[in-house]
Every structure is written in C-alpha cells, then in structure tokens.
Amino acid sequence: MTEKIDREEIAVEALTLVELKGLSARIAMNKVAQEMEITDWKERGAAHALVFEVLRRKNTLDKILNTVLKDGSARLMHPYLRNLLRLAIYQMKFGKTNSALVTNEAVKITKEKFGVKAAKFVNAILRQAENLPLQKIYENLNDIETLSIKYFYPTWLIKYLIKLVGRHTAIKIMKKTNTVPPIYLRINTLKGKKEEILKMLKREGVEIKEDKNLPDIVKVVSYEKPVTRTKAFQEGYIYMQTKSSALVSHVLNPKPGDFVIDLCAAPGGKTTHIAQLMRNRGKILAIDLNVRRVKEMEEKFKKLEVKIAHPLVADSRTLHKATTHKADRVLVDVPCSSTGAIWSKPEIKWKTKPRDIKHITQIQWELLTAAAKLVKTGGILVYSTCSITLEENELLIEKFLKLSPEFKLVPAEPFIGFKAYRGLEDAQRLFPYPNETEGFFIAKMKKCF
C-alpha cells in the first residue's frame, strides 16, 4: 500500500456493500480488505468493529439523521454518503469519539469523494447532529417504537420476542445481542489430542476457558492476535464454531461406522464435527445445492483431515428419488430466517421481514419431509435452525409428527438450553440470553417403523 487508508473509509465501503449487495458484514469486509489491500490486521479489525456497531444501531442512527434533516430524506442520499453519516453519528453519539474529530474526518472523506459542496452539506448535518439531544428522537413514539430505538431492533421482531419470551427476557436478549459476541472454538481431535492443541493455543497467546457442557468446545477469553491468524487455526487444529451449532452434532450423536447423511451441509462446520465424533470411521454424505460452497467444503475437509465425508452437489429435496440407501442418522440443518444469529450477524435484523418466514417454512418443510425418507428403521433424524420463530420450529415439527406417525420425538441430549414450546419438551431451544450463544432450535426424532 502506498498510502494509509483510514479505518472509517474501509468501514464505509463495507457498509455500502452490505446495503447495496446484501452481503454479510464479514464477506463485505473481506472483499473491501482485498480490494484496498489492507494488510494491517489491527486496522482491519478496528474497521470491522465499526461496521458491526453501525449495523447494530442502523435504525437509531437513521432516526437521528432524519430528525436532523427534518424531511426524512436520508433514504434519497447517495448510499456511500448515507453510510458515512451513519458512521459519524455512531462515533459521535455512541462511540465516545470527539465530535470535532469525527466531523473533520467525515468532511475530509466527503471532499475527496464528492467535492466541496457535498463536504459543506456533511459538515452542516454533523454540526446539527452534535447538538441534537438524544431524548429528542424519542418524542411522539409508542412503547414498541421506543424499545426499537433504545435497543436497536425492528418493531415487528420486538413484538414477536415479547410474545415468545415475555417483555423482561426480550429486553435481556436485545441487550445481549448489542454486545460483542463471544468466540467459541471446536478442538479438532482428528488432528491431535485436545491437551496438545490447548497448549498450542496458549503458546500463541490465546487464553481459553473450557466449556462445561461440550468437551470439544472452548471459549476464547483473550488473544494477542486474531484467532484466524494463529497456526492452530490455519493448520486446522481448531475450527471457529458457535456453541449452539456444535451442540447439534452432539445431539445427532453419530457413532463410528455409521452411515450419516448431512443435507444442506455447506459450509461444512457440522459435517466436519460429525466426522470428528465418528473418529473418521464410517461414511458421511454431505449434500448442498451451491457448487461454490461445496468446493469450499471440500477444502475444509482436507484442512481438518476429514476422510469419510463425500461432498455431493444436489437438491436435498429430491435425493430420496435417486437412492435406495437409508442412513443411520440424517441431519437437516435447514436454511432459515437466521433470527437467532443476530448477535454475530446484525445485518439480519434489517434484512429479514415477516413475509420471508412464510416462504422459508415451505422450503424447510420440503427438506424435512425429504430427509425423513432417507432414515432407516431405528434411525435418527435431527432437525435444526438458527431461528427463534415458532413457524420454523415447533409448528413445523408438530405438523411433521402428526403426518409421520413412524417418527417420535426423543430427548435432544445433551440438554443445555430450554425445553421447546407447545409441549415439545424433548426438543430444545437456546437464546443469546442466558445461554451465551446463538439462538437455536434442535429436535431429535427416531424412526420406529
């Protein structure tokens, strides 16, 4: 790099990509870092943090911006300018950064990108934002709208959460997901003994805390450099995976020698975990419809030394028509609204709409009923989502059990979350509060005849 690029510029580029292309924050950051040739991981990390903080508070930042504009015209702005102003207002109002410094930086960037006239406009907006008392944005709001601005959530999701878990717990969940999410690692015992891998992490300055529920999961307490830059990560001795995601494979409880089918397998986190629990003995058919993601999954298998997983590009909804082979265990971790993954992917709050749930539940139903046809008598079927909605979880499983008498719900053990709702006490749910992990739903069913 010939010149230093400010973290604010990096962050605004990534935020604009998230908005225009619908990318996740992580993918947008990777793309921007590559294009801008950002090699300093500290600078990249600081920009990434800014992206996350702005995305978490997007509705409230827009409320401040539109209050200053008076005519609510933020949506008509150039996307880059809008995201630059969102970032500046975040730094000013929530980031405890000196307002004059924030304004100077934003004006400088605007002048370089759009010229003097736009820079004067940005300067005027930020001067007004600086003098705007925060209580002003709460005027004339009802209770749900107030919660929305205070806790940075869309109103429809607040109403849903309150109905699901009650007002007190809903607020606790919203508060929790506005903090920095914990980093969990899975120790890959296919490549070495747990004790040796933990020593390797310690040598590289990563301090961890072992999980009391899952023996192969540890929580990162502190680090000297990002975990992804450690030798342990780069050589496949550890894998970054949330606790709730890792729990799914433990609930499936595959045994060495089993034949397992993993539908919707990419990006391969659960598949590689299943292989680990099987000690690389048996066979896993790992299916996904996305060619690029299947290729990435194959690379992951090599890196983590998974030898029993066979990737296949196919539509999981029609696989049963092409094979007579039945599996000992089938995992269907379906595409979902991802409303449980907001902690680590804040952009989901603003991307997901109530109408999306109806569409996704149809796909989930097709996948679940297709998966059921692949389970042998006496075999196990596990259904999971990173969603909190009843429609994608309890209601769908209720319908399935009613129409599939050959299956019965069995305990989704190890049980570290809450009993699922609507009397499905053998299924379990996890929430960011108090489970300290993504929101998840897991149901385990046995085929009895």
DSSP letter, residue 317: T
Which stretches in the chain have pLDDT values below 70? 1-4, 72
Task: Using DSSP, state whether 90 is helix, strand or coil.
Answer: helix
End-to-end Cα distance, the chain: 65
- The pLDDT score that the predictor gives to residue 280 is 98
Q: What angle, 0 to 180 degrees and rounded to 10, lies between the N-to-C axes of helices 7-21 and 25-35?
A: 130
386 assigned to active site: yes
Domains along the chain? 7-138 (1.10.940.10), 145-176 (no CATH), 184-240 (3.30.70.1170), 243-447 (3.40.50.150)
- The pLDDT score that the predictor gives to residue 4 is 61
Q: Cα-flanking dihedrals φ and ψ of residue 41, to 5°?
A: -65, -25
DSSP letter, residue 249: H
Six token digits for residue 136: 């002003």
Catalytic residue among 264, 336, 386, 448: 386
Query: Could you tell me which of 374, 428, 433, 438 has the C-alpha nearest to residue 251?
Result: 428
Q: Which amino acid is at 86?
A: R
- The pLDDT score that the predictor gives to residue 2 is 39
Cα–Cα distance for residue pair 40/232, rounded to 1 Å: 20
Dihedral of alpha carbons 91, 95, 100, 101, sign: negative
- The pLDDT score that the predictor gives to residue 1 is 37
Q: Which amino acid is at 205?
A: G
Give the strand pairing for 327-333 and 418-419. Answer: unpaired
